[in-house]
RNA sequence: GCCUGCGUAGCUCAGUUGGUUAGAGCGACGGACUGUUAAUCCGUAGGUCACCGGUUCGAAUCCAGUCGCAGGCGCCA
């Protein structure tokens, strides 16, 4: 049988798809569980390619020689015959002819046990949690989502733009930033920060390539202590030219649906795991939401809906000029629309300076996509393309106009109506999988006071 | 930044109005048994009750402080 990839091994996922007994295979992986008996012994291996393990069958002699070193977590390489299994829970197994212990794992001190444990506990051993079912599935899905994000845009001719991680503008109004310094020296001649958004930078490219996107890490130095905030997270920011807010919303909906459905199709076993062990019913709710048009309301309509809610007291009062708080967003997505909803045309005072002012002068062509359980996963807008209006708004926001000279230049040289949105990768993964904490969908979560790994 | 809650074996948790030697299940280890499936059965080891003061004849338990963690809110993705 031909080995997968480099030829050094047979990946478990490929073996299970083969579905024909016979031939010699080599499986590499880590011990999930093992059982030793007088006549026959079993070792189950995982290699990260599948939710399934491969059962390795050992003779009494092989078991006796390796028993002490085949505890949970040990790294092993097994060569043997791919055979029909006599057991009920798997169709095939490996009858071992050669067993090599590649890396020992002391069962007394190895913190991953052959039993369930809490996600909180696993956060304290983030270097070892990829060895568990939950994190195997989570990070396979994260990989698949990332792949389909690129595929979606590449198929549509979008250019992936690598906007800088180190930026100079600290006045985008997107929260606190991490400053980048070397000693006391202004390394770049002026103050620099880790990016909190690639949007302003990518706008220069949209006015040259028409359809572009960014996909990379983003940093926020806010002291946010919640299950859906991290100091370092990944964001996707498409930007389209010759486009208005309706075009942006249409893109966002197509994008979410394509990426989610493709990921579910690519990782059926992982989603079966999430539906069984993490959040029963979530997969059905997600599929239901993806099968019909997302709801859409203006901010004014949303306020109207909230004002008419009977028999409920709000912590933050509902009324004219209100800003939508978490409790209001959750009510809209979870109780009223029972699915994803685009809220559009917010009061301009509540939103960023670059969002395009509506003709009424009161609202901007912005949108947030709210989903049940998470809240906002997308924030987007049509951008202000009119030079005079943009200059006025920058001043109204109390920002230094001269700092935006190159951003304003775009409005001088062949400006176009354009817009885009930012999607939080982790929040999308949380909504898809039912994982409740952003710390558990990031490989190495960074939150205020915490960056151990 | 604000509010609330929680720190007891490796893990998940009990622990009464403060009362001798702090418990269970699982895991680990040892044995038995078995084409087994987080097997099953029997047994063994394992705890400075987060830390530091105080109250008391006596503190896991009551009080104060410190540290850590979690959840909610604000900010946002």
- Is A175 a residue whose pLDDT tops 70? no
Same domain, A174 and A224: yes
Same domain, A190 and A266: yes
- Is A189 a residue whose pLDDT tops 70? yes
Find the mean pLDDT for residues A203-230.
Answer: 94
Q: Is residue A260 part of a domain?
A: yes
The Å distance, CA of A178 to C1' of B55, is 47
- Report the share of chain A in percent with pLDDT over 70: 97
Give chain A's end-to-end CA distance (angstroms, integer): 39
Q: Is residue A299 part of a domain?
A: yes
Judge if the beta carbon of A381 is closer than 7 A to nucleic acid strand B: no
What is the Cα A402 distance to its own chain's centre?
A: 36
Confidence of residue A6 (pLDDT cuts 50, 70, 90): low
Same domain, A210 and A309: yes
Same domain, A64 and A139: no
Please name the residue whose C-alpha is nearest to the C1' of nucleotide B26: A115
Residues 77-106 of A with CB under 7 A from strand B: 85-90, 93, 95
Strands across the sheet containing A179-180 = A166-167, A192-194, A179-180
The Å distance, CA of A439 to C1' of B66, is 26
CATH number at residue A50: 2.40.50.140
Q: Which residues contact A45 (CB under 8 A, 6 or more apart)?
A: A12, A27, A28, A29, A30, A31, A32, A53, A54, A56, A76, A78
Task: Please give the Cα distance from A365 to A2 (Å, whole number).
Answer: 56
Q: Is residue A115 part of a domain?
A: no
Number of residues that this document lists for chain A: 453
Mean pLDDT is lowest, of A98-107, A178-187, A195-204, A235-244, for A178-187
Q: What is the pLDDT of residues A41-66, one digit of tens each?
A: 999 999 999 999 999 999 999 999 99
For strand B, which nucleotides have at least one atom less than 7 Å from a protein CB? Answer: 1-3, 10-13, 26-30, 33-39, 68-77
Same domain, A147 and A84: no
The Å distance, CA of A225 to C1' of B5, is 15
Cα-Cα-Cα-Cα torsion A78, A79, A81, A83, nearest 10 degrees, comes to 20
The Å distance, CA of A101 to C1' of B11, is 27
Same domain, A297 and A172: yes
Q: Residue A112: helix, strand or coil by DSSP?
A: coil
Q: What is the pLDDT of residues A132-146, one digit of tens each?
A: 999 999 999 999 999
The Å distance, CA of A114 to C1' of B44, is 20
Judge if the beta carbon of A190 is closer than 7 A to nucleic acid strand B: no
Contacts 24+ apart (CB under 8 A), A84-90: A84/A21, A85/A55, A87/A55, A90/A52, A90/A55
Lookup: nucleotide whose C1' is closest to A36 CA? B36
Task: Please give the Cα distance from A154 to A344 (Å, whole number).
Answer: 28
Confidence of residue A2 (pLDDT cuts 50, 70, 90): very low
Judge if the beta carbon of A317 is closer than 7 A to nucleic acid strand B: no
What is the Cα A181 distance to its own chain's centre?
A: 29
The Å distance, CA of A104 to C1' of B21, is 39
Count of CB atoms situated within 10 Å of the CB of A307: 11
Domain range enclosing A67: 6-110
Mean pLDDT is lowest, of A205-209, A284-288, A315-319, for A315-319
CATH number at residue A408: 3.30.930.10
The per-residue pLDDT for A20 is: 80
Lookup: nucleotide whose C1' is closest to A53 CA? B37
Q: Which residues contact A62 (CB under 8 A, 6 or more apart)?
A: A41, A96, A99
By C-alpha distance, which of A315, A329, A426 is closest to A373?
Answer: A329
Find the mean pLDDT for residues A72-77.
Answer: 94
The per-residue pLDDT for A1 is: 41
More confident of the two residues A312 and A160: A160
Lookup: nucleotide whose C1' is closest to A369 CA? B77
Q: Is residue A408 part of a domain?
A: yes
- Report the share of chain A in percent with pLDDT over 90: 78
Find the mean pLDDT for residues A70-91.
Answer: 92
Q: Is residue A120 part of a domain?
A: no
Confidence of residue A88 (pLDDT cuts 50, 70, 90): confident
Same domain, A88 and A171: no
Most confident of A181-185, A292-296, A399-403: A292-296
Q: Average per-residue pLDDT in chain A?
A: 92
Q: What is the pLDDT of residues A282-298, one digit of tens each?
A: 999 999 999 999 999 99
Confidence of residue A3 (pLDDT cuts 50, 70, 90): very low
* Kind and range of the H or E run holding A101: strand A92-103
Find the mean pLDDT for residues A224-248.
Answer: 95
Q: What is the pLDDT of residues A253-275, one digit of tens each?
A: 999 999 999 999 999 999 999 99
Find the mean pLDDT for residues A188-214.
Answer: 93
């Amino acid at each position: 049988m031909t080995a997968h990839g480099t030829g050094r091994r047979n990946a478990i996922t490929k073996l299970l798809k083969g579905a024909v007994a016979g031939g010699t295979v080599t499986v590499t992986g880590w011990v999930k569980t093992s059982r030793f008996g007088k006549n026959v012994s079993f070792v189950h291996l995982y290699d990260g390619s599948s939710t399934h393990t491969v059962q390795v069958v050992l003779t009494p002699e092989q078991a006796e020689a390796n028993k002490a070193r085949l505890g949970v977590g040990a790294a092993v390489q097994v060569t043997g015959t791919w055979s029909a299994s006599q057991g009920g829970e798997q169709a095939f197994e490996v009858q071992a002819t050669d067993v090599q212990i590649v890396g020992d794992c002391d069962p007394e001190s190895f913190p991953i046990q052959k039993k369930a444990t809490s996600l909180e506990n696993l956060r304290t051993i983030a270097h070892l949690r990829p060895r568990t079912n939950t994190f195997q599935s989570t990070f396979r899905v994260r990989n698949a989502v990332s792949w389909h994000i690129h595929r979606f845009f590449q198929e549509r001719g979008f250019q992936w733009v690598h906007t800088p991680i180190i930026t100079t503008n600290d006045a985008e109004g997107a929260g606190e930033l991490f400053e980048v310094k070397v000693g006391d020296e202004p390394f770049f001649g002026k103050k620099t920060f880790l990016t909190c958004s690639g949007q302003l930078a990518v706008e220069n490219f949209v006015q040259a390539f028409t359809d572009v996107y960014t996909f990379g890490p983003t940093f926020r130095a806010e002291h946010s202590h919640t299950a859906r905030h991290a100091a370092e997270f990944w964001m996707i920011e498409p930007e389209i030219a010759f486009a208005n807010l309706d075009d942006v919303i249409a893109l966002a909906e197509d994008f979410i649906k394509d990426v989610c459905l493709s990921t579910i199709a690519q990782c059926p076993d992982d989603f079966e795991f999430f539906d069984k062990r993490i959040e029963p019913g979530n997969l059905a709710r997600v599929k239901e939401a993806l099968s019909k048009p997302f709801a859409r309301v203006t901010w004014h309509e949303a306020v109207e809906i909230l004002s008419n809610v009977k028999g409920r007291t709000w912590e933050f009062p509902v009324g004219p000029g209100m800003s939508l708080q978490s409790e209001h967003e959750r009510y809209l997505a979870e109780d009223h629309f029972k699915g994803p909803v685009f809220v559009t045309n917010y009061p301009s005072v509540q939103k960023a300076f670059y969002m395009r002012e509506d003709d009424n002068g009161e609202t901007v062509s912005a949108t947030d996509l709210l989903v049940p359980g998470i809240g906002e996963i997308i924030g987007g807008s049509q951008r202000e393309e009119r030079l005079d209006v943009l200059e006025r708004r920058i001043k109204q926001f109390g920002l230094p106009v001269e700092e935006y000279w190159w951003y304003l230049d775009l409005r001088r040289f062949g400006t176009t109506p354009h817009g885009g949105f930012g999607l939080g990768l982790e929040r999308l993964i949380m909504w898809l999988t039912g994982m409740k904490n952003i710390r558990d969908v990031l490989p190495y979560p960074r939150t205020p006071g915490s960056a151990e790994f």
